[in-house]
A and B are shown apart, each in its own frame.
Chain A
Amino acid sequence: MAKSDIEIIVEDPTAPEADSPPVTTTRVVEVASLLVLLALSVMLGFDNWRTGISWASDGPQAGYFPFYLSVILVAACLYGLGREVVKRTEPSDTFVTRAQLRRVMQVFVPTLLFVLGVEWLGLYVASFLLVAGFMWWIGRIALWKSLLTSFIFALLMFLTFQVAFDVIMPKGPLEAAFGF
């Protein structure tokens, strides 16, 4: 029998509050990312110009195509910046509120540390720390459960990639101590 009158309700107790004060507007973020892209495209365009943007006897030089792409990128960024200047008197939407930013940073900062950790500790130790930290600190799950779950997870990943499929992943001192 199809029985679907049971409703599943999952609440999100740590959801960002709706009345949290805004941090920035969309316009500020848009102008900032346009400026970053502008700087990047000028830098890449310069490098391509140095590589060579002319037409050699055997076809275009290596910098020919990317140089014109950088020119297009610069032009599009300038157009975007000009548009924001023209519209500067109009009100802009909220890009992110303080509560939302806090939640995003709760994921973003550990992810960033994880990437740095992969460099020094190797993938498996770093992911053990990431999963355990997330479960214990953000998920507020008992410490022993967090440690056990993340240990099993890291071990399973190690067995899958290293032992069963021979996929080389970044490894650190701990794996070296066991002779891998």
Chain B
Amino acid sequence: MEAFSLLMHGFVVLLTWKTLALMLVGLVLGIFVGVLPGLGGPNGVAILLPLTFSMDPTSAIVMLSCIYWGALFGGAITSILFNIPGEAWSVATTFDGYPMAQQGKAAEALTAAFTSSFIGSLFAVLLITFLAPSIASFALKFGPPEFFAVYMLTFCSFVGLGREAKHKTIISMAFGLLIAGIGMDTVSGTLRMTFGSNDLLRGVNFLVAVIGLFGISEILLTMEERLALRGHAARISLRVVWSVWRDLPKYWATLLRSSIIGSWLGITPGGAIAASFMGYNLAKRFSKDK
């Protein structure tokens, strides 16, 4: 029960006007970022990170996680209304979401999307709260050999499970690790791969690498394509939200199944993309009306 009281303590910390206001700001910013094509949760968090520089840690975490959640919901908006998934894991949302919008049921689809992602995240948070102590005590036993083994397994699964040509995956990983190795060696303090440059002493900043490799390349890729949009307007009213919420308990099995899949693939290196497709496929298989 200690975990439960800690969870409640967390809610006490959160339920102040200041944090609630920060949540609102974070969610609105996140939805903006998520709706913009080519910018998703991680990019949004990276871009808006400077906003939190002068905040205390709790407010900063609240703000950043709200930006992330807002961006996820923003991704669902474009998937359902425009058939454009902002991120790879909202592709599964377009399969049924866009047809629903075409039938004039966009508001229902949006309500179902945000309610079910709320239920899924609540499930994951509860799971983490109650399992974290045992995971933490397990994690404390981890030493360098175990960490090496875990990373080895992860990198091998990238090579084995990735759909790209295997040598390209190996090139990307080796290149990334090499970039991370630039600068001062943390063990011996020797400089490596700096070629006498003072700017490279501290290595290559992770944010710089991520924004350069993903952000800018995504923008350039978008420019290559036709930017024409074809979408549907939607208006959400409380009545639609209520009617969807009345129907949702009927789908408790789908919600539970998808929550379990998501939590399991979140713990293992499978990740959100695999989980979203797996959840969709299982829901389709168990569904009575196909």
Query: Which residues of chain A have a CB within 8 Å of any CB of chain B?
Result: 1-12, 15-16, 37, 41, 44, 47-48, 51-52, 56, 58-63, 65-66, 69-70, 72-73, 76-77, 79-80, 83, 96, 100, 103-104, 106-108, 111, 160-161, 164-167
Q: Is the CB of B50 within 8 A of A165?
A: yes
Interchain CB contact (< 8 A) of A72 among B105, B170, B236, B240: B170
In the assembled complex, the CB of B233 is this many whole angstroms from the nearest CB of chain A, namely 4
Interchain CB contact (< 8 A) of A6 among B181, B220, B232: B232
Which of A2, A16, A66, A83: most chain B CB closer than 10 A? Answer: A2
Complex formed: what's the CA distance from A15 to B222 in Å? 11
Q: Is the CB of A2 within 8 A of B230?
A: no
Q: Is the CB of A58 within 8 A of B193?
A: no
Q: Is the CB of B223 within 8 A of A107?
A: yes
Q: Is the CB of A15 within 8 A of B223?
A: no
Q: Is the CB of A80 within 8 A of B188?
A: no
Q: Can you name 11 A-B residue pairings with CB atoms under 8 Å?
A: A10-B227, A15-B227, A44-B193, A47-B195, A58-B188, A59-B187, A66-B178, A76-B167, A80-B171, A107-B220, A167-B50
In the assembled complex, the CB of A168 is this many whole angstroms from the nearest CB of chain B, namely 10
Known: A47-B192, A76-B174, A83-B167. A2 touches B240 (CB 8 A): yes
Query: Which residues of chain B have a CB within 8 Å of any CB of chain A?
Result: 50-51, 53-54, 81, 101, 104-108, 165, 167-168, 170-171, 174-175, 177-178, 181, 185, 187-188, 190-193, 195, 216, 219-220, 223-224, 226-237, 239-240
Residues of A within 8 A of B230 (CB): 7-10
Known: A2-B240, A72-B174. A66 touches B231 (CB 8 A): no
Besides A3-B234, A4-B235, 7 more A-B contacts (Cβ < 8 Å) are: A1-B235, A2-B108, A9-B228, A9-B230, A12-B228, A47-B195, A60-B187
Q: Is the CB of B53 within 8 A of A2?
A: no
Q: Is the CB of A4 within 8 A of B167?
A: no
In the assembled complex, the CB of B250 is this many whole angstroms from the nearest CB of chain A, namely 20
Residues of A within 8 A of B177 (CB): 66, 69
Complex formed: what's the CA distance from A44 to B177 in Å? 12
Q: Is the CB of B224 within 8 A of A103?
A: yes
Q: Is the CB of A69 within 8 A of B51?
A: no
Q: Is the CB of A4 within 8 A of B223?
A: no
Residues of A within 8 A of B235 (CB): 1-4
Residues of A within 8 A of B101 (CB): 4
Question: A9: nearest residue on chain B (CB-CB)?
Answer: B230
Q: Is the CB of B53 within 8 A of A70?
A: no
In the assembled complex, the CB of B256 is this many whole angstroms from the nearest CB of chain A, namely 28
Which of B54, B175, B219, B240: most chain A CB closer than 10 A? Answer: B175
Question: B168: nearest residue on chain A (CB-CB)?
Answer: A80
Residues of B within 8 A of A165 (CB): 50-51, 53-54
Residues of B within 8 A of A51 (CB): 190-192
Q: Is the CB of A37 within 8 A of B236?
A: no
Known: A2-B105, A77-B171, A80-B168. A66 touches B193 (CB 8 A): yes
In the assembled complex, the CB of A167 is this many whole angstroms from the nearest CB of chain B, namely 5
Q: Is the CB of A62 within 8 A of B104?
A: no
In the assembled complex, the CB of B169 is this many whole angstroms from the nearest CB of chain A, namely 9
Q: Is the CB of A61 within 8 A of B190?
A: yes
Residues of A within 8 A of B171 (CB): 37, 73, 76-77, 80
Residues of A within 8 A of B168 (CB): 76, 80
